[in-house]
Amino acid sequence: MNESETFDIIVVGAGIIGVATAYHLQQNNPEKRILLLDRYLAAGQANTAMSAAAVRNMFASSTNQLLTDSTIKFIEHVQTELGFELMFEKCGYLWLLSEEQFNSEGVKLWMERMKRSGISHKVYDKHELKDMIPSLVVDFSNSEEAHLMNLKEVSYGLFGADCGVLDATRFVEFYFEEFKKISSVKPRFGVNVEKLILEADPKLDLPGEPFVWQDKRVVGVKTDKGEFRADCVVLATGAWANELLDPIGMDSRTKCKKRQMFVVHASDNEGLKQLLNTKGFNDMEVCPFIILPSAGVYFRPQIQEHGFWVGCGDKLGRAYKYIQTDEELVPESSYYENSMFPVLSAYFPDFASTRPVNSWAGGYCYSPDAIPLVYYENGVLVANGASGSGIMKADAIARIADALYRGMPEAELFGGKKIPSEALSIKKRKVETENVVI
């Protein structure tokens, strides 16, 4: 049998959360030997690459506000002060809301909490919206189809100017390159972790241990390329957390739901070109990330491709899945055609004559309260459950994971704000439920 290799920390998963965590751990624990590994052949190839790569601090829970606001500030710092191009553009987020939605308790609380946290936001009424986005349909009084589809009329727009879009791959590259500069261990790819190694603590070397009366902890990973051991195994495996935690009897408390993205080009469509070049919301004179009032449909501008990425946060009717094969995460063109497209083209008729040129799908890793889970138990440090917003929370999650590893009571986030290190844990969880999930 091959000898197992030994490290201080093994980070499983090189998505945005894994690379950010590896970087902060190495930065603050320079003497530790940290192995970063992934079953894909490069970093950031799984759900990080499938995302809409948009970032917002407009959340209803103060925890998500803190995590995202500090991560967005870090993104700005990387791009403007460190000079690492992330293609970060502050185009803003615009929620289109009906009268009823705008006056609901949920939206009032959301706005109140943003005000309290100093999250900048602005309300537009429908006349202002029509002036700025002439192609937006705000009145469905003569549309039987819209009534049939239960589409809500637009009365208000809630806009956040500090939100935007970036290139998620560049963000991964930033952490990965910085990690490699300071790490003495070369990251490994094409390595599949088959199971976590759970052993008795302390080990008595009795046949058949660990027994029920013994304490146990994870001491490493068994992979298709051999066994690796470490004092701490970080699981940044996103939507696949259950795969490794279930077999050792740890509940990841996360569930995965498929999400899809469709690319629509604006180049051959005058109306869409104008929509893309919407003025008044940001310095780049580009349309913001827009969320429609109905059915969870949204789109973001893709400036370099001269088009839009269109998605949908469908809820009831979309199954939670234990993702086992890549085939489960393929986009469905009929879903765009029959579900998203009728909604999209009702509010923005310019989309009617154009069809997607590309599409992909990935999985959201949901926690029960839509706040990430970060905890260190039994030798495993878990960082997942970002609930569809892991890129915009990555830096904060990684700093919390590092603080937990170092046994610090608080984690200092970028910009200086602090959060109790165990606030996102399972046992000492101290968070509000998030209601603004797209």
Ligand X SMILES: Cc1cc2nc3c(=O)[nH]c(=O)nc-3n(C[C@H](O)[C@H](O)[C@H](O)COP(=O)(O)OP(=O)(O)OC[C@H]3O[C@@H](n4cnc5c(N)ncnc54)[C@H](O)[C@@H]3O)c2cc1C
The single residue among 9, 11, 17, 234 that binds ligand X, judged by CB under 6 A, is: 17
Q: Is 392 in the site for ligand X (CB under 6 A)?
A: yes
Spell out where 119-215 has E strands.
Answer: 122-125, 156-160, 164-165, 188-189, 193-200
429/419 Cα distance (integer angstroms): 12
Q: Is 66 in the site for ligand X (CB under 6 A)?
A: no
Helix or strand run (H / E) with residue 219: strand 216-223
Q: Is 362 in the site for ligand X (CB under 6 A)?
A: yes
Judged by CB, which is closer to ligand X: 108, or 195? 195
Q: Is 18 in the site for ligand X (CB under 6 A)?
A: yes
* HSE-CB for 367 with a 13 A CA cutoff: 26
Q: Is 39 in the site for ligand X (CB under 6 A)?
A: yes
Helix or strand run (H / E) with residue 235: strand 226-235
Site string for ligand X, 310-339 (x = CB under 6 A): -x----------------------------
Judged by CB, which is closer to ligand X: 17, or 424? 17
264/275 Cα distance (integer angstroms): 12
Q: Is 386 in the site for ligand X (CB under 6 A)?
A: yes
Cβ atoms of residues 88 and 170 within 8 Å: no
Judged by CB, which is closer to ligand X: 386, or 413? 386
Judged by CB, which is closer to ligand X: 356, or 388? 388
Stretch that binds ligand X, among 50-58, 102-110, 341-349, 411-419 (CB under 6 A): 50-58
Q: Is 261 in the site for ligand X (CB under 6 A)?
A: yes
The single residue among 35, 96, 146, 193 that binds ligand X, judged by CB under 6 A, is: 193
Site for ligand X in 231-260 (CB under 6 A): 236-240, 243-244, 259
Least CB distance from residue 245 to ligand X, whole Å? 11
Judged by CB, which is closer to ligand X: 401, or 419? 401
The number of residues that bind ligand X (CB under 6 A) is 41
C-alpha distances in Å from residue 330, one per residue of 50, 104, 323: 11, 36, 12
Stretch that binds ligand X, among 24-32, 124-132, 357-365, 428-436 (CB under 6 A): 357-365
Q: Report CA Rg, the chain.
A: 23
187/172 Cα distance (integer angstroms): 14
Q: Is 38 in the site for ligand X (CB under 6 A)?
A: yes
367/58 Cα distance (integer angstroms): 19
Spell out where 26-80 has E strands.
Answer: 34-38, 54-55
Partners of 54 in beta bridges: 165
Q: Is 400 in the site for ligand X (CB under 6 A)?
A: no
Stretch that binds ligand X, among 40-48, 108-116, 273-281, 423-431 (CB under 6 A): 40-48
Least CB distance from residue 38 to ligand X, whole Å? 5
Cβ atoms of residues 266 and 73 within 8 Å: no
DSSP letter, residue 141? T
Instruction: Work out the number of other CB atoms within 10 angstroms of the CB of residue 406.
Output: 12
Q: CB within 8 A of 270, min separation 6: which ones? A: none
Spell out where 268-425 has E strands.
Answer: 289-291, 297-302, 307-312, 320-321, 358-366, 373-377, 380-384, 410-412, 418-420
Least CB distance from residue 12 to ligand X, whole Å? 5
Q: Is 53 in the site for ligand X (CB under 6 A)?
A: yes
Query: DSSP of 275-320, one letter per residue?
Result: HHT--SSSTT----EEE-SSTTEEEEEETTTTEEEEEE---TTSPE
Question: Which two structure tokens, joined as six digits, stand for 125?
Answer: 């009424």
Least CB distance from residue 388 to ligand X, whole Å? 5
The single residue among 26, 51, 79, 339 that binds ligand X, judged by CB under 6 A, is: 51
Judged by CB, which is closer to ligand X: 160, or 388? 388
Judged by CB, which is closer to ligand X: 20, or 411? 20
The single residue among 364, 366, 375, 405 that binds ligand X, judged by CB under 6 A, is: 364
Least CB distance from residue 328 to ligand X, whole Å? 12
Site for ligand X in 96-135 (CB under 6 A): none
Q: Is 390 in the site for ligand X (CB under 6 A)?
A: yes
Q: Is 71 in the site for ligand X (CB under 6 A)?
A: no
Q: Is 153 in the site for ligand X (CB under 6 A)?
A: no
Q: Is 389 in the site for ligand X (CB under 6 A)?
A: yes
Spell out where 61-210 has E strands.
Answer: 93-97, 122-125, 156-160, 164-165, 188-189, 193-200
Q: Which residues bind ligand X (CB under 6 A)?
A: 12-18, 38-40, 45-48, 50-54, 192-193, 236-240, 243-244, 259, 261, 311, 362-364, 384, 386, 388-392
